[in-house]
Amino acid sequence: KMLGLLPFQCCVHISSLLILLGQDGFEQMCKLSPENVKGNIRIKFVNEQGLDEAGIDQDGVFKEFLEEIIKLVFDPNFALFKCVEQGDKVYPSSNSFVHARHLELFEFVGRLLAKAVYEGIMIEVPFASFFLTQLLGRTHSFAYSSFDELSSMDAELYRRLSELKRYDGDVEDDFCLTFAVDEDQMGTIVTHDLKPGGRMTNVTDVNRISYIHLMSNFKLCTQIHKQTSAFCRGFRCIIHPDWLVMFSSPELQRLISGDNKPLDVSDLKKYVVYYGGFSGAHSVIRWLWDIVEKDFDSREKGLFLKVKHL
């Protein structure tokens, strides 16, 4: 029995996810049960004239649907995700509230990413290490330290807090810090207490370790708790957390995006399954492998590997 065999409508040229929100693609995907999402999903593209595009979805159209949505939602300009301070790795943005249905969007994107992982579809999105740790559910481990993870979000803040930790002088007089942090919410500065009465509590030699951990926890967890929870909820309804316990954060990233190691064509050929009367001895197949081995560069071999069915 083919589960989730439903026609979804979405615009092939999406300029804003708000357009998608008015289409059946978003609404129907949200209504599908986890078991249906794991099944076959057929996508129907509608052109700019509102007409169905010709063609049959044989996985390729669904991949295009995924790639179009992923490209949009992980673009920092869309404000659903943002990049780390020094690099291109992404994590949920605390300013995602600019989208009225932002938490629904995070759950939707979590489902899409999990569907891609479930189907073995590579998604070229580099995630911040601390966010992958949260996706793996490791933040409640006795060995977890938000301070140790902070460098994967903001290396400069991690450096400053490390300096505070090792400082030999008078912390209270020299740093003039309180247990509070200011956040820029779309041009409006909002002050958050790191603990009750935090803005009235000075950071001293005695309590600075507590301040360091509270600040790190706020940046990595508290500030984006709702966004992260919604994303994880969508992801884990497709990929059960028990399936992920064997992976580390770097391994999970490779599971999502693949590896940068050179493609071993000889090894790949051993596991290819041919259809339609073709075999490894067919002249067309021999020409194909000859081109891949001798003419394709590393990037082209990587693109070739993304094609699941030839």
7, 67, 5: which is closest to 40 by C-alpha?
5
| CA dihedral sign of residues 158, 92, 116, 70 | negative
H/E stretch holding 257:
helix 249-257
Tens digit of pLDDT for each residue in 48-79?
666 655 554 445 567 777 777 888 889 888 88
Q: Judge whether residue 197 has pLDDT over 60.
A: yes
Rounded CA gap, 46 and 49, in Å?
Answer: 8
Instruction: Please give the model's pTM, rounded to 2 decimal places.
Output: 0.77
Q: For helices 102-119 and 225-236, give the axis angle rounded to 10 degrees.
A: 40
Least-confidence region, from 4-13, 29-38, 185-194, 228-237: 4-13
266-291 confidence digits (pLDDT tens): 888 888 888 888 888 899 999 999 99
Q: Comparing 42-51, 98-107, 119-128, 273-282, which segment has the lowest mean pLDDT?
A: 42-51
pLDDT for residue 61: 67
